[in-house]
Amino acid sequence: MTKTLLSGDNLPNIPWEPRPPANGDVVWRYGKNPVIPRHATPTIDSIYNSAVVPFRGGFAGVFRCDDRSRNMTLRVGRSRDGIDFQIAEQRLEFSCDTPEIAQFLEGYDPRVVPLDGRYYVIWCNNYHGYTIGLGYTDDFERFHQLENAFLPFNRNGVLFPRRIGGEYMMLSRPSDAGHTPFGDIFLSHSKDLVYWGKHRHVMSPKRDGGLVNWQMTKIGAGPYPIETSEGWLLFYHGVLTTCNGFTYSMGAALLDLDKPWQVRYRTRPYLLSPDTLYENVGNTQNVLFPCAALTCAATGRIAIYYGAADTCTGLAFCQVDELFDFLKKNSEV
């Protein structure tokens, strides 16, 4: 067992591959990446920025699958081992009691969070502008859509996996109507997952001094926060703007357990940045976008799923102890 206890899931069958000998990085890639190639099913253009959770002894997930019209759809996928996934041929459909929001136009960048015995799905939903859509499923077969959490324009909504101080909490990144060139992470409270308030600023891009860095343009929460004895472990993406576009990399932060809008540690360097052909080349070059993480408390293993180049899905691994050591030694809040 590791020093830092990982609550939540304790998965003996988590996908795993040891760090390659020559690799000294705290996070390393799966050797057979992309774990899910772009043409995972014939009717899609690409599959990425997707959410995987343990489900009934195996794994299930909600995947961003851009179809051949490049429309952004959500689809269900299942896997025994977290490596080979069967992706649904049809887009995911939600039932919804509220006619005003029931028309599902687009969905992208989903997260799935186990909470109150259910699986909540959070995604970027188009309702007169992109905002945070919210729904749930019990079985990955029927899905029910709730009210959108916020007004447009918002992206990267991520629920915490339990109530804190009796309230639900959601991270999100307020945005604009385009390819937003800014973005801070905020946290909002709710008692019922319908009405949200008490909005708190969590963290900003690193703008200090104007120095170039990997997280200087915008940042956004990645997988849902992982509870540890020292705080909520949050993987997040940060964006650097080059003369030829955005580059998305991954870092991590540790949030206060009780007041998770307070950041205790935050990686100054990135953990992983586009550095392979499947991350550097594709629908959008130089994108590495984490959306899900699986953990094993007994071994301290973490497996991270991330979108690569807006095209396919990568997998990476780390050991929680090593990660905490790195985070604390390389922290700049």
Query: Smallest gap, in angstroms, from Cβ of residue 274 to a copy of itself?
Result: 8
| Measured distance CA(185)–CA(62) in Å, rounded | 23
User: Please, are residues 293 and 304 in contact by the beta-carbon 8 Å criterion?
Assistant: yes
Give the burial class of 283: count Cβ atoms within 10 A of its Cβ; 0-12 exposed, 13-18 middle, 19 or more buried: middle
- Is residue 13 at the binding interface for a copy of itself, with CB under 8 A as the rule? no
Contact call for residue 268 and a copy of itself (CB under 8 A)? yes
Asked if 322 interacts with a copy of itself (CB under 8 A), we say no
DSSP tag of 261 = T
* Nearest distance in Å: CB 77, a copy of itself: 20
Least spacing, CB of residue 317 vs a copy of itself, in Å? 18
Cβ–Cβ < 8 Å for 252, 234: yes
Site for a copy of itself contains 29 (CB under 8 A): no
Only one of the segments 84-92, 97-105, 109-117, 224-232 lies at the binding site for a copy of itself (rule: CB under 8 A); that segment is: 97-105
123 or 186, CB closer to a copy of itself? 186
Contacts (CB under 8 A) with a copy of itself, residues 112-171: 126-129, 131, 147-154
* Residue 278 is a binding residue for a copy of itself (CB under 8 A): no
- CB 47 to a copy of itself: min, Å: 13
Of residues 162-221, which lie at the interface with a copy of itself (CB under 8 A)? 172, 174, 176-177, 179, 182, 184, 186, 188-191, 194-201, 204, 209-214
Among 12, 31, 42, 57, binds a copy of itself (CB under 8 A): 42
Question: What's the token pair of residue 136?
Answer: 């749930």
Name which position in 96, 115, 164, 281 contacts a copy of itself (CB under 8 A): 281
**Of the candidates 22, 66, 72, 74, the residue with the CA atom closest to the CA atom of residue 46:** 66
Strands 72-79 and 86-87, sheet pairing: antiparallel
| Between 60 and 185, CB nearer to a copy of itself | 185
Q: Which residues contact 79 (CB under 8 A, 6 or more apart)?
A: 52, 58, 59, 60, 61, 85, 86
Please say whether the beta carbons of 294 and 54 come within 8 A. Answer: yes
Interaction between residue 275 and a copy of itself (CB under 8 A): yes
Q: How many residues bind a copy of itself (CB under 8 A)?
A: 78
- In terms of CB distance, is 219 or 296 closer to a copy of itself? 219
Least separation in angstroms between CB 42 and a copy of itself: 5
- Smallest gap from Cβ 14 to a copy of itself, in A, equals 26
The answer to the question of residue 333 lying near a copy of itself (CB under 8 A) is: no
DSSP 3-state of 90: coil
CA–CA dist 268, 146 (Å, integer): 37
CB under 8 Å to 150, separation ≥6 — which residues?
Answer: 131, 132, 157, 172, 188, 196
Comparison of 126 and 299: residue with beta carbon closer to a copy of itself: 126
> Which residues 234-253 are close enough to bind a copy of itself by CB under 8 A?
240, 242-247, 249
Q: How far is the CB of 292 from a copy of itself (least distance, A)?
A: 22
| CA atoms of 206 and 216, how far apart (whole Å) | 5
Say whether residue 71 binds a copy of itself (CB under 8 A): yes
Where b means 16+ CB within 10 Å and e means fewer, 57-92 reads eebbbbbbbbeeeeebbbbbbbbeebeebebbeebb
Distance of closest approach, residue 107 Cβ to a copy of itself, in angstroms? 11
Q: How far is the CB of 244 from a copy of itself (least distance, A)?
A: 3
Nearer to a copy of itself, 285 or 299 (CB): 285
In sequence order, what DSSP letters do the residues of 23-64 get, joined into one string?
---SSEE-TT--SB-TTSSTTEEEEEEEEEEEETTEEEEEEE
